[in-house]
C-alpha cells in the first residue's frame, strides 16, 4: 500500500528559524519522511500578504530552504520546493476563491486577529490567504496535514471547499485529514515563559534563533526567566520557565523529562541552564555549518529546489488539469 501523503509549509518571514519552529514543526517533518509521501513547501506566496521587502524575501526563501535541508529534510526522501516555483498554487487558488462564500472567509479567526492588529496594512491577500492554503493542500491530494491549534479552522475550510468542489463538479480532490502530532513540543518564550516562543516576541532574548551566534544562544538560556523556588520540577502551571527548559532539553537529547528530573534531583537551576546551554550550542553548531554550506553553493541549492519544483509540478499540474476540465475550461 502506498504511504499516506502529507503536505506542510513554512513561511520565509524571518532571517532564521527559531527553536520553536524546529521542535514544533520541522523536527516532525524530518520524521514524517520515513513514514509518509511528504511534500514540504517554503510558502513565499503567503509571505507577501502584509507588505515586504523583495530582496529580503528572496534571501529568506533561500535561507529557509537551506535550513530545512540542514535540519534533516532529504530531497531523496521528500519533495521540498518553493511555492512560487509551482504556478498551479495561484491558479487553483483563484478557482477555489470562486466557490468560497464571502461570509465564510470572513469567519476566519486568524484574519480577524491579524487585520485588527494592522488595520492600515491589511490586504485582500491576507483575507484570501486560507483559500490559497487550501489550494496548497488540495493540489497534492494530501491525505494528511499536520496542524497546530491555530490552523485547525483553515484546514476545516480546506475540507469544506474540497467537498463542495467534488459535489458540484465531480470527484477531484482528496479530503485531507488533520494529522495530530503526538509529541509536538510547545516551546515558550525564555523571558516570558507563559507566551509561545515566536519571531514576533517582545524581547529578542526570549527566542533562540538557529542561525544566531551560539554564544548568544548560550547566554539567553543562562538568563532565561525561571521560577520561584529552587527545585527542578516539571510543572507547566507553576513552573513554566523551568518546564520549558526541561522540554527543550528532553527534545534535543531524545531523553524523557523523567530521566532529566532524576539527573537534576537535588541540583539547582544554574546547573540545568549551564548544561542546557551546552546542549543547544552543540545542536546549532552543525546546523549552522550545513546551512552555510548550502548558502555558499547557490548553484547546488538552486538545483535541489528546481528538482523539488519539478517533482511537485508533476503532481500539481495533473490535479489542476483535472479541476480545470471539471469546471468547464
Ligand atoms: P512564529 O510563531 O514564530 O511566527 P510560525 O507561525 O511561522 O512561527 O510557525 C511556523 C511553524 O512553527 C508552525 O508549524 C508552528 O506551529 C511552529 N511553531 C512556531 N512557534 C512554535 C513554538 N513556540 N513551539 C512549537 N511550535 C512552534
Ligand atoms: Na505565527
Q: Give the ligand whose atoms come closest to the C-alpha of residue 150.
A: 1
Question: For position 201, what pLDDT does the model report?
Answer: 86
Query: What is the position in ligand 1's atom list of the atom closest to the CA of 18?
Result: 3
Q: What is the mean pLDDT of residues 178-192?
A: 86
Phi then psi for residue 80, to 5 deg, are -110, 125
Segment among 76-85, 146-155, 156-165, 255-264 with least mean pLDDT: 146-155
Cell match 542561525: residue? Answer: 211
Would the pLDDT of 132 be above 70?
yes
C-alpha cell at 52: 515586504
Angle at 243 between CA 237 and CA 249, to 5 degrees: 165
Q: Give the ligand whose atoms come closest to the C-alpha of residue 199.
A: 1
Cell match 524575501: residue? Answer: 57
Question: For position 230, what pLDDT does the model report?
Answer: 87
> Among 209, 248, 236, 241, which Cα is nearest to 224's?
241
130-141 core/surface letters (b: 16 or more CB in 10 A; e: else): bbbbbbbbbbbb
Choosing from 182, 186, 199, 285, the catalytic residue is 199
* Catalytic residue list contains 273: no
* Catalytic residue list contains 199: yes
Question: What does pTM read for this prediction?
Answer: 0.95
C-alpha cell at 119: 488595520
Would the pLDDT of 224 be above 90?
yes
Q: What is the mean pLDDT of the chain?
A: 95
Would the pLDDT of 229 be above 90?
no
The alpha carbon of residue 74 and the mean position of all alpha carbons in its chain are separated, in whole angstroms, by 17
Confirm or deny that 286 is annotated as ligand binding. Answer: no
Question: For position 12, what pLDDT does the model report?
Answer: 97
State whether the beta carbon of 151 lies less than 6 angstroms from ligand 1.
Answer: no
Q: Give the ligand whose atoms come closest to the C-alpha of residue 14.
A: 1
Distances (CA, A) of 39 to 34, 81, 109, 140, 142: 12, 8, 26, 8, 9
User: What ipTM does this complex have?
Assistant: 0.94
Would the pLDDT of 257 be above 90?
yes
Would the pLDDT of 184 be above 80?
no
> Among 223, 218, 279, which Cα is nearest to 247's?
279
Question: For position 151, what pLDDT does the model report?
Answer: 85
Query: What is the position in ligand 1's atom list of the atom closest to the CA of 17?
Result: 3
Q: What is the mean pLDDT of residues 146-169?
A: 93
Q: Computed from CA positions of residues 260, 265, 269, 273, in that sequence, does the dihedral angle turn out positive or negative?
A: negative
* Catalytic residue list contains 186: no
Question: For position 183, what pLDDT does the model report?
Answer: 63
Query: What is the position in ligand 1's atom list of the atom closest to the CA of 189?
Result: 23
Q: What is the mean pLDDT of residues 224-235?
A: 91
Q: Model confidence over 288-312: pLDDT tens digits?
A: 999 999 999 999 999 999 999 999 9
State whether the beta carbon of 20 lies less than 6 angstroms from ligand 1.
Answer: yes
The alpha carbon of residue 259 and the mean position of all alpha carbons in its chain are separated, in whole angstroms, by 29
Would the pLDDT of 214 be above 90?
yes
Between CA 148 and CA 113 the distance in angstroms is 17
State whether the beta carbon of 187 lies less than 6 angstroms from ligand 1.
Answer: yes
Angle at 174 between CA 171 and CA 179, to 5 degrees: 160
State whether the beta carbon of 110 lies less than 6 angstroms from ligand 1.
Answer: no
State whether the beta carbon of 25 lies less than 6 angstroms from ligand 1.
Answer: yes
Q: Model confidence over 40-52: pLDDT tens digits?
A: 999 999 999 988 9
State whether the beta carbon of 16 lies less than 6 angstroms from ligand 1.
Answer: no
Give the residue, 121 or 19, on which the prediction is more confident. Answer: 19
Confirm or deny that 182 is annotated as ligand binding. Answer: no
151 contacts 11 by C-beta, under 8 angstroms:
no
Amino acid at each position: 500500500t502506498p504511504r499516506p501523503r502529507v503536505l506542510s509549509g513554512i513561511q520565509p518571514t524571518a532571517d532564521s528559524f527559531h527553536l520553536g519552529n524546529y521542535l514544533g514543526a520541522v523536527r516532525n517533518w524530518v520524521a514524517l519522511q520515513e513514514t509518509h509521501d511528504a511534500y514540504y513547501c517554503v510558502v513565499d506566496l503567503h509571505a507577501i500578504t502584509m507588505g515586504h521587502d523583495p530582496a529580503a524575501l528572496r534571501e529568506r526563501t533561500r535561507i529557509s530552504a537551506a535550513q530545512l535541508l540542514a535540519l534533516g529534510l532529504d530531497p531523496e526522501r521528500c519533495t521540498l520546493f518553493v511555492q512560487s516555483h509551482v504556478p498551479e498554487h495561484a491558479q487553483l487558488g483563484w478557482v477555489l476563491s470562486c466557490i468560497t462564500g464571502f461570509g465564510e472567509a470572513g469567519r476566519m479567526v486568524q484574519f480577524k486577529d491579524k487585520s485588527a492588529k494592522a488595520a492600515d496594512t491589511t490586504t485582500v491577500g491576507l483575507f484570501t490567504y486560507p483559500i490559497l492554503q487550501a489550494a496548497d493542500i488540495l493540489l497534492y491530494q494530501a491525505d494528511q496535514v499536520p496542524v497546530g491549534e491555530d490552523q485547525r479552522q483553515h484546514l476545516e475550510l480546506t475540507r469544506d471547499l474540497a467537498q463542495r468542489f467534488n459535489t458540484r463538479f465531480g470527484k477531484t480532490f482528496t479530503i485531507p485529514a488533520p494529522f495530530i502530532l503526538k509529541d509536538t513540543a510547545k516551546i515558550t518564550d525564555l523571558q516570558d515563559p507563559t507566551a509561545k516562543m515566536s519571531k514576533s516576541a517582545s524581547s529578542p532574548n526570549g527566542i533562540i534563533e538557529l542561525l544566531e551566534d551560539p554564544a548568544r544562544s548560550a547566554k539567553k538560556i543562562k538568563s532565561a526567566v525561571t521560577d520561584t523556588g529552587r527545585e527542578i520540577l516539571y510543572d507547566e502551571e507553576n513552573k513554566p520557565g523551568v518546564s520549558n527548559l526541561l522540554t527543550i532539553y528532553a527534545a534535543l537529547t531524545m531523553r524523557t523529562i523523567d530521566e532529566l528530573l532524576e539527573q537534576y534531583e537535588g541540583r539547582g537551576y544554574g546547573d540545568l541552564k549551564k548544561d542546557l546551554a551546552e546542549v543547544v550550542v552543540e545542536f546549532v553548531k552543525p546546523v549552522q555549518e550545513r546551512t552555510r554550506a548550502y548558502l555558499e553553493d547557490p548553484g547546488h541549492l538552486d538545483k535541489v529546489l528546481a528538482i523539488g519544483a519539478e517533482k511537485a509540478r508533476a503532481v500539481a499540474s495533473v490535479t489542476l488539469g483535472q479541476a480545470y476540465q471539471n469546471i468547464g475550461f
